[in-house]
Amino acid sequence: AGLRCQLYAPQRALRTSAALRRASEEHRKEPNSQQHFDPHPAEPPPEREAQGPSPSSTGQGGQESEDYESEEQLQHRILTAAMEFVPEHGWTAEAIAEGAKTLGLSPAAAGMFHTDGSELILHFVSQCNTKLTDLLEQEQKLVQLGEAEKKPTDQFLRDAVEARLRMLIPYIEKWPQAVSILLLPHNIPSSLSLLSSMIDDIWHYAGDQSTDFNWYTRRAVLTGIYNTTELVMMQDTSPDFEDTWRFLANRVADAMNMGDAAKQVQSTGAALAQGLMGAAVTISNLTGLNQRR
């Protein structure tokens, strides 16, 4: 028992679990209480393991524990099941309770999560981000295989943000509520980190290789575009959110122009400086300060 474990609840061999089941078994509506293995509860106290969600090898009675899912995986499954009840109940414990019921668990299992629904929202956001990453990965593969054209940056950004925002459409009515919950102080670290890693991914697939200050500006710009478009989308009533996509296209175009404008400003600055120099020389000539003897 010398292993220190950061987790509050130890991950341990899931022996006599009724609902946590083998990862290989697929759709079981009935919780299987016949899978009671003999390990007696009075056996050596559960070891603490500092492992990730999938217990690969455990200290005691390891023969059946390899395939069981962990508590976290079960929680993920409950949250995923809860998603279909969100349009009706919002991001609340009720939705989670309904989700638990579809998995054959008692609705009391919703007590595992916060009552404000934070975990549900964070779970949804992280799932959307994963889907987006998969989508971008697939597109990249197609480009590499030569089956598709490489998109210009602005088109790429537009498509990526649109794809990601479209995932919100089924839940758009309750989305404002979700955004406000994500802004709660105790949620901000997680929601910010999810947002920034998503923006990172998009730029990565857009082919951004910069290592200088541009890295920050690009991230900041895209974050701004994403957030403002999201806000617009929440109030958009046009068919299939056309207004939102148009807004998005304009913002991306602005961002692209900003890059050009910066260069223009630089060259204009240089031209201006030269003009001023010229003017100064002329004036000094006229006033006789530059007299050559």
Partner 1 sequence: VHQVFENVAEKYDVMNDSMSLGIHRLWKDILVRKMNPSPGTLLVDVAGGTGDIAFRFINYVRSVRGRQLQQKLKRHQNLSWQEISKSYQEEKTNPLGDSQVVVCDINKEMLKVGKQKAQHLGYSEGLSWVLGNAEELPFDDDKFDVYTIAFGIRNVTRIDLALEEAYRVLKPGGRFLCLEFSHVSNPLLSRLYDLYSFQVIPVLGEVIAGDWKSYQYLVESIRRFPPQEELKAMMEDAGFFKVDYQNLNGGIVAIHSGFKL
Site residues (vs partner 1, CB under 8 A): 8-10, 12, 14-20, 31, 33, 41-42, 45-46, 71, 74, 93-94, 97, 100, 103-112, 115
Least distance (Å) between residue 122 CB and partner 1:
18
* Nearer to partner 1 among residue 31 and residue 61 (C-beta): 31
* Alpha carbon of residue 245 to chain centroid: 20
Query: Is-contact 198 124, C-beta < 8 A?
Result: no
Q: Give me the least distance between CB of 100 and partner 1, in Å please.
A: 6
- Taking the least distance from each CB to partner 1, the nearer of 75 and 244 is 75
- Closest CB to partner 1 among residues 46, 259: 46
Q: Please report how close the Cβ of residue 64 comes to partner 1 at its closest, in angstroms.
A: 15
- From CA 293, how far away is CA 281, in angstroms rounded? 17
Smallest distance, Å, CB 71 to partner 1?
5
Q: Which is nearer to partner 1, 18 or 262 (CB)?
A: 18
Q: Are 73 and 51 in contact (CB under 8 A)?
A: no
- Tell me if 116 sits within 8 A of 181, measured CB to CB: yes
Give CA separation, 88 vs 4, 84, 171, 200, 254, in Å. 43, 8, 10, 33, 38
To the nearest whole angstrom, how small is the minimum distance from the Cβ of residue 88 to partner 1? 9
Which of 153, 177 has the CB closer to partner 1? 177
CA 239 to chain centre: 26
